[in-house]
Chain A
Amino acid sequence: MLAALVVIVSVSPARAGMVPKRMVLDSGLVLLTSEQRALPMVSIELLIDAGSRYEPENQAGLANLTAKLLTYGTQRRSALQISEALDFIGASLSTDSGEDVASVSLTILKKDLAMGLDLLAEILTQSTFPQGEIDRQKQAVIASIRAREEDPGAVAATKFAAALFPQSPYGRPVEGTEVTVKGLQRKSLQDFFSRYYRPNRAIISVVGDIGEKEIAQALNRAFSGWNKGEPSGKMLVPTNIGAAQQLQINKDLTQSNIILGHNGVTRGNPDYYAVQVMNYILGGGGFSSRVMDSIRNERGLAYSVYSYFAAEKSHGSFQFVMQTKNETALEAIQIARDEIRRIREAPVSEQELNDAKDYLIGSFPLRFDTNRKVAGFLAQVEYYQLGLNYPEQYAGLIRKVTREDVQRVAKEYLRPEQLITVIVGNLKKLGEKP
């Protein structure tokens, strides 16, 4: 009954009293906890290895629809009973899916936790996927796909991903397309659910007004019917990487929404931290970044301009994102390219380096200044296998980055000749006089 307590490691955390603990429950479910008694509430984050990478291309949207339907019917409760139960106690329970993992988030008052855990267990083990609910959610997903179409930034992001990772789940929208979503069958959802929603593929992080022993017991009890399945899949590394290209989408907009980018680094790459420092100086550092100076402050070309490296387990991307009126799109792209070239060709200054490190190290605790954020953070630490002492290690990982490292990683991971350029805007006005 009690958990097999494999490891309990405590660290002196960056958050006062974060004290994360880790254990593996009977079912193989990995549990991370942080006891926070200040408020009578509990935040739970569950990640499960059931993302869209496991769906066939002609069933794009399957993982997403499966995740969406979890709260729409179990063996014991209808969709209406679930929402009525949650609303009555003011709790929030949401589900989502990405390319790699699906996620479930629950925020609930401590007094209602037992009921919340029962419901959580139900949706993860006894979801029934009623046909009527499938039809409803298909319609909702299709509307959501359409809504994304009216967000120019989202359109650009979708085009960019498709160009960078062709023929890969990482290049497809997680929601699927109108055609593939319409074609999804109940049987496929049930099969996907029963194959991938397994405790030995999941991480659960519980933060709040409860101790680790108490929560471990409660989870073992609630999840007693959740049986192990096949282990997590091997990493899926995209082999086909899109070459440099220009993609232009014409829309009746006042601004061009621009993404420049290419292949990036994985989360486990030893250069990950040097890349973060380098990118902070280039475009990740908010008002401290070079491009904020050259594109926004000096020339007034954009309100929002930034760059980032999205780093996943098996793949990653570099993206430089901005919006500027159509007439100045080409000028802004040129400056962006110049900045990318500059950080490769010349070393950054000592001050730039130190400012970047000081921010990254100094602001680290702000990444988990609420229970909700701690829950998300602990789940990520486990998922990326950063180690429970990651909060202690982080400063050292950043501090050791040198100016030479910054230039080396700029040369290695910024590749002007490979840049994919996406423009969503009024194309006729590109390059016109404002």
Chain B
Amino acid sequence: MQRFYVGWLFAFFLVIAAVAPLHAAPVQEFVLDNGLKVLLLEDHKSPAVTFQVWYRVGARNEKDGKSGLAHFLEHMMFKGTPSTGPEEYSRIIAKNGGRSNAFTTSDMTVYFATMSRERIGIELDLEADRMANALLGDKYFEPEKKVIQEERRLRTDDNPISALSEVASAVAFTIHPYRRPVVGWMEDIQHLTRQDLVDFYNLYYAPNNAFIVVVGDFSTAEILPKIKSAFGKIPRGAPPPNVWVEEPEQRGERSVVLKKEAELPFTLLFYRAPNLKSPDSFALDLLSVVLAGGRSSRLYHELVYEKRLARSVDADYSAVSIDPMGFSVDAQLLPGIEPARVQSEIDRQLEKVKAELISERELVKAKNQVEAAFVFAQDSIFGQAMKIGSYEIAGGWRQMDTYLDGIRKVSREDIRRVARQYLVRDQRTVATLIPTKEKPQ
């Protein structure tokens, strides 16, 4: 529900990968003197504006033993400033007809509200206030810690598939922080202190480590001066420390099993793959569509329809991330089906795209799907803002402009080549959920 973290591996980037970015969107960029970047996209289809503040900090910036810190701070950002009481932020937005929330991923922490053009200035002022003046009140620290522990129980501990993806990440990455869950390990959350939050806030929450995205029914001439006046006075912070961690090359398949009370087995194959900084990202994107884009895709057709092994199957490629993540294939199995059987069937299909060129029609179909999704995605101002922000975090919003062109240029040979290069057994992690029916202790 509210104030959520997003499991980086499968949840969030699935959304990004599923929709193609904007082509040459008329995004306007401004940079204030204190380093705060402002990205504006006017869209007058609907009388609402979404205003988002993106901080370039997430679980990726946490240290060992401090997992969950970025997400915890996100929760505490709602506990007030000298001029706004605890939880008052949400109330003010709501009584002005707005919807607000925030989320944290490995790469970023984002605060947002969507409301009418007349009221969006309220959100703007509140965000500027908490960028500089959040109190992170001691009194609210312990109760909020309990809330976050409940959040972890709800989303991960009692959710078999999400528990599996957590453990898969922990095995797929050995030193890169992408190995840690965004919500944090339960023990780490337990031991975080208020001082940890204060230090993290002071280090990362500064205009030069953030940017604003506004999409919707506003006028640039009207909103830009407001942004300058509210945010311009916040002093620039010291440059935050860089994260320089490169995950070493994987040499050999890894495998992990989770046994847990559940009904259906689940299998997940995670391959190391580059992100959008690589020219191969376009072909990898299309490869994921060829494999699992719609009922006529290869994996869906074979596993769900023909052989009736799985209830669902998916292929996700996470291009839009700061550091390389990967390419994953997953399937929820039908009752009584052996995970090994499904894994070998998936392997057979993957070997096929490595051995033979896909048909010309398959290539056109995959490209059509990407282009249609690109149009559909523009239906939502929130979705557009999410895309601009995600690209800005991962490598710069201008990369959105080259996306469709990049997709159009992909050939059948490219798809076979990237399949051969990246869908390699020695560079994958196989995670399997084995349902148990243990009686509670």
Q: Which residues of A contact B (CB under 8 A)?
A: 14-16, 36, 38-41, 43, 79-80, 83-84, 86-91, 107, 109, 136, 139-140, 142-144, 146-147, 149-150, 152, 250-255, 285-288, 293, 296-304, 306, 323-325, 354-355, 358-359, 361-366, 369-372, 426-429
Among B139-147, B229-237, B243-251, B345-353, the one that faces the other chain is B139-147
Q: Are A143 and B311 in contact (CB under 8 A)?
A: yes
Q: Are B263 and A109 in contact (CB under 8 A)?
A: no
Besides A254-B157, A255-B157, 12 other A-B contacts (C-beta < 8 A): A39-B45, A86-B296, A87-B296, A87-B365, A143-B311, A147-B332, A150-B262, A150-B264, A252-B438, A255-B154, A300-B146, A304-B2
- For B374-416 the 0/1 string (1 means CB < 8 A from A) is 0110111100000000000000000000000000000000000
Q: Are B264 and A39 in contact (CB under 8 A)?
A: no
Judge whether B87 is part of the interface by a CB distance below 8 angstroms. Answer: yes
Complex CA–CA separation, A364 to B146 (angstroms)? 33
Q: Which B residues from 293 to 333 make CB contacts under 8 A with A?
A: 293-297, 301, 304-305, 308, 311, 332
Cβ contact of A36, chosen from B45, B47, B97, cutoff 8 A: B45
Complex CA–CA separation, A150 to B142 (angstroms)? 31
Cβ contact of B381, chosen from A39, A150, A303, A369, cutoff 8 A: A369
Q: Are B365 and A88 in contact (CB under 8 A)?
A: yes
Q: Are A363 and B98 in contact (CB under 8 A)?
A: yes
How close is A396's CB to chain B, nearest CB, in angstroms? 16
Cβ contact of B440, chosen from A41, A287, A427, cutoff 8 A: A427
Among B25-33, B88-96, B269-277, B423-431, the one that faces the other chain is B88-96
Enumerate chain B residues within 8 angstroms of A300, measured Cβ to Cβ: 142-147, 150
Q: What is the chain B residue whose CB lies nearest that of A89?
A: B368
Q: Are B151 and A303 in contact (CB under 8 A)?
A: yes
Q: Are B98 and A362 in contact (CB under 8 A)?
A: yes
Cβ contact of A254, chosen from B90, B147, B158, B294, cutoff 8 A: B158
Q: Are A146 and B335 in contact (CB under 8 A)?
A: yes
Cβ contact of A41, chosen from B2, B140, B332, B375, cutoff 8 A: B375
A-B contact pairs, 21 of them (CB 8 A): A16-B47, A36-B45, A40-B375, A80-B301, A87-B293, A88-B365, A90-B368, A90-B369, A90-B373, A140-B304, A143-B311, A147-B263, A296-B147, A297-B143, A355-B94, A359-B94, A362-B96, A365-B46, A365-B116, A366-B114, A369-B380
Enumerate chain A residues within 8 angstroms of B296, measured Cβ to Cβ: 80, 83-84, 86-88
Judge whether B370 is part of the interface by a CB distance below 8 angstroms. Answer: yes
Q: What is the chain B residue whose CB lies nearest that of A429?
A: B440
Judge whether B63 is part of the interface by a CB distance below 8 angstroms. Answer: no
Judge whether B420 is part of the interface by a CB distance below 8 angstroms. Answer: no
Judge whether B341 is part of the interface by a CB distance below 8 angstroms. Answer: no
Q: Are B264 and A369 in contact (CB under 8 A)?
A: no
Q: Are A288 and B158 in contact (CB under 8 A)?
A: no
Q: Are B46 and A369 in contact (CB under 8 A)?
A: yes
Judge whether B372 is part of the interface by a CB distance below 8 angstroms. Answer: yes
Q: Are A303 and B142 in contact (CB under 8 A)?
A: no
Enumerate chain B residues within 8 angstroms of A80, measured Cβ to Cβ: 296, 301, 305
Q: Are B97 and A149 in contact (CB under 8 A)?
A: no
Enumerate chain A residues within 8 angstroms of B157, measured Cβ to Cβ: 254-255
Enumerate chain A residues within 8 angstroms of B304, measured Cβ to Cβ: 140
Enumerate chain B residues within 8 angstroms of A252, measured Cβ to Cβ: 261, 438-441
Enumerate chain B residues within 8 angstroms of A140, measured Cβ to Cβ: 304, 311
Q: Are A358 and B264 in contact (CB under 8 A)?
A: no
With A152-B158, A355-B95 known as contacts, the answer to whether A303 contacts B376 (CB < 8 A) is no
Q: Are B263 and A150 in contact (CB under 8 A)?
A: yes
Enumerate chain A residues within 8 angstroms of B340, measured Cβ to Cβ: none
Most A C-beta atoms less than 10 A away, residue of B44, B95, B140, B262? B95
Enumerate chain A residues within 8 angstroms of B143, measured Cβ to Cβ: 297-300
Q: Are A358 and B2 in contact (CB under 8 A)?
A: no
Cβ contact of A143, chosen from B144, B334, B373, B438, cutoff 8 A: B334
Complex CA–CA separation, A336 to B368 (angstroms)? 51
Most B C-beta atoms less than 10 A away, residue of A298, A299, A304, A325? A304
How close is B147's CB to chain A, nearest CB, in angstroms? 5
Enumerate chain B residues within 8 angstroms of A304, measured Cβ to Cβ: 1-2, 154
With A150-B263, A300-B143 known as contacts, the answer to whether A287 contacts B90 (CB < 8 A) is yes
Cβ contact of A293, chosen from B87, B99, B154, B334, cutoff 8 A: B87
How close is A428's CB to chain B, nearest CB, in angstroms? 6
Enumerate chain B residues within 8 angstroms of A371, measured Cβ to Cβ: 379
Enumerate chain A residues within 8 angstroms of B381, measured Cβ to Cβ: 369
Enumerate chain B residues within 8 angstroms of A288, measured Cβ to Cβ: 90-91, 94-95
How close is A196's CB to chain B, nearest CB, in angstroms? 25
Cβ contact of A89, chosen from B142, B334, B372, cutoff 8 A: B372
Complex CA–CA separation, A132 to B76 (angstroms)? 55
How close is B119's CB to chain A, nearest CB, in angstroms? 8
Q: What is the chain A residue whose CB lies nearest that of B20?
A: A90
Q: Which B residues from 71 to 121 make CB contacts under 8 A with A?
A: 78, 86-87, 90-91, 94-99, 114-116, 119
Q: What is the chain A residue whose CB lies nearest that of B47?
A: A16
Judge whether B48 is part of the interface by a CB distance below 8 angstroms. Answer: yes
Q: What is the chain A residue whose CB lies nearest that of B382?
A: A369
Cβ contact of A286, chosen from B2, B144, B305, cutoff 8 A: B2
Complex CA–CA separation, A156 to B261 (angstroms)? 16
Cβ contact of B97, chosen from A86, A323, A361, cutoff 8 A: A361
Q: What is the chain B residue whose CB lies nearest that of A85?
A: B296
Judge whether B226 is part of the interface by a CB distance below 8 angstroms. Answer: no
Enumerate chain B residues within 8 angstroms of A297, measured Cβ to Cβ: 86-87, 140, 143, 147
With A38-B45, A286-B2, A300-B150 known as contacts, the answer to whether A90 contacts B370 (CB < 8 A) is yes
Q: What is the chain B residue whose CB lies nearest that of A87?
A: B294
With A365-B48, A369-B48 known as contacts, the answer to whether A41 contacts B294 (CB < 8 A) is no
Q: Are B305 and A149 in contact (CB under 8 A)?
A: no
Enumerate chain A residues within 8 angstroms of B332, measured Cβ to Cβ: 143, 147
Q: Are A287 and B91 in contact (CB under 8 A)?
A: yes
How close is A19's CB to chain B, nearest CB, in angstroms? 13
Judge whether B280 is part of the interface by a CB distance below 8 angstroms. Answer: no
Q: What is the chain A residue whose CB lies nearest that of B217?
A: A16
Q: What is the chain A residue whose CB lies nearest that of B310?
A: A143
Complex CA–CA separation, A251 to B217 (angstroms)? 49
With A254-B157, A303-B151 known as contacts, the answer to whether A370 contacts B46 (CB < 8 A) is yes
Q: Are A143 and B335 in contact (CB under 8 A)?
A: yes
Enumerate chain A residues within 8 angstroms of B435, measured Cβ to Cβ: 150
Cβ contact of A255, chosen from B97, B148, B150, cutoff 8 A: B150
